[in-house]
Amino acid sequence: MQLCDLSETIDLGDQAALITYLNLQPVCPKCQQRLSDRVFDRWRYGRRVLCSGCGVQITWRSGTPFDGSRHSSTKLRRIVEGRADKADPVKVAQNCGIDVRSVKDWWSRLDVYEALTGIAGA
Ligand SMILES: [Zn+2]
């Protein structure tokens, strides 16, 4: 995985990469109902969708470590890939425009999430 060939203009690709990393299925994290085809594209694009099962509004970030984060998907992907590549956290922080402590916090959070969910072959 490359850190340097990412651009803010390919946010859909960044979201797809994060959805793949998280091994997310298009299901509601609250009631597990599969999202309808009608809302799938909106979900995949990071838009808020209404679950027809429980009526809760969700995005693909709901129930993931990225829930509530204001970082762009591009930035989150850089954090995820920097960790996978065992990159220097200082460089990842510079690349993302955030401080190095935040990068390390994200990496610890992802360690926990991977251990709990078994994603990323952990
Ligand atoms: Zn639901």
In a domain, 31, yes or no: no
Q: How far is the CA of 57 from the centre of ligand 1 (A)?
A: 8
Q: What is the 3-state secondary structure (H, E, C) of the chain?
A: CCCCCCCHHHHHHHHHHHHHHCCCCCECCCCCCECCHHHHHHHHCCCCEECCCCCCEECCCCCCCCCCCCCCHHHHHHHHHHHHCCCCHHHHHHHHCCCHHHHHHHHHHHHHHHHHHCHHHC
Q: How far is the CA of 26 from the centre of ligand 1 (A)?
A: 11
> Per the structure, how many domains does the chain have?
1
In a domain, 55, yes or no: no
In a domain, 6, yes or no: no
Determine the structural domain holding residue 117 and report its residue range: 61-122
Q: How far is the CA of 54 from the centre of ligand 1 (A)?
A: 4
Q: How far is the CA of 50 from the centre of ligand 1 (A)?
A: 8
Amino acid 12: pLDDT: 84
Q: How far is the CA of 32 from the centre of ligand 1 (A)?
A: 6
In a domain, 42, yes or no: no
**pLDDT in single tens digits along all 122 residues of the chain:** 444 444 444 578 999 999 999 999 999 999 999 999 989 999 999 999 999 999 999 999 999 999 999 999 999 999 999 999 999 999 999 999 999 999 999 999 999 999 999 887 54
Amino acid 2: pLDDT: 45
